[in-house]
Amino acid sequence: MKDLKEELIEFARKLNSTSLSPLRSGNVSVRVTQDNVEGFFITPSGKKYEDLKPRDIVFISLNEKYDFIKWFNTGLNPSSEWRFHQDIYLNKIEAKAIVHAHSPHATAVSAHRKAIPAFHYMVALAGGDDIKCAEYATFGTSELSQNIIKALQNRKACLMSNHGQVTFGKNLNQAFELAEEVENICHQYINTIKLGKPTILSSVEMNKILEKVKNYKKD
């Protein structure tokens, strides 16, 4: 099995190479138990992803700040957005990896602080008949975490007002692919509304789609 830190670095670099999150914006994490402590590995702040080494990856435990302070003093700081990663892992047992991106189209839609309705059936990939937008709060705050948790109710992805998007999955690949899908859906949505008000799929139709997606995703 590939080392989890190596895998995390690979996906952090993909944030840049796929233009999902340019420069140093965006971050990725993966759930891990280290020395019997439950927590997660996360990308550090202040270092270009192309220069990342496994030793730069930061471990944060799920039980509050003690470990954070411990790790804080050992070298690189974790991403300044570590808090909502921790809160998602605490609230979503099924979340094994998280991708957060300031992807251009998702960020553009997020600035309007509205959910994306079922203008296309692929919206179902996020887990429901729309993709919600978490209310605005300053980055790094617990208030932002709480807003994200609310928007992620029965969902695996959401937009974040005036900020970007966040997704989770059962591994890094799945979380990353979902972030790419959300970006694509937002791009399509922007084009769609340029032509006027689209027809939205009914909840009956979306329930059918959600059932299909559930079966399709079984592996």
Catalytically active residues are 81
Q: Maximum CA pair distance of the chain?
A: 55
Beta strands in 35-156 (DSSP E): 37-42, 58-61, 97-101, 133-134
Which residues neighbour 150 within 8 Å (Cβ) at sequence distance 6 or greater? 134, 135
Beta pairing, strands 97-101 & 164-169: antiparallel
Distances in Å between the alpha carbon of 16 and those of 22, 30, 166, 180, 188? 5, 18, 16, 12, 21
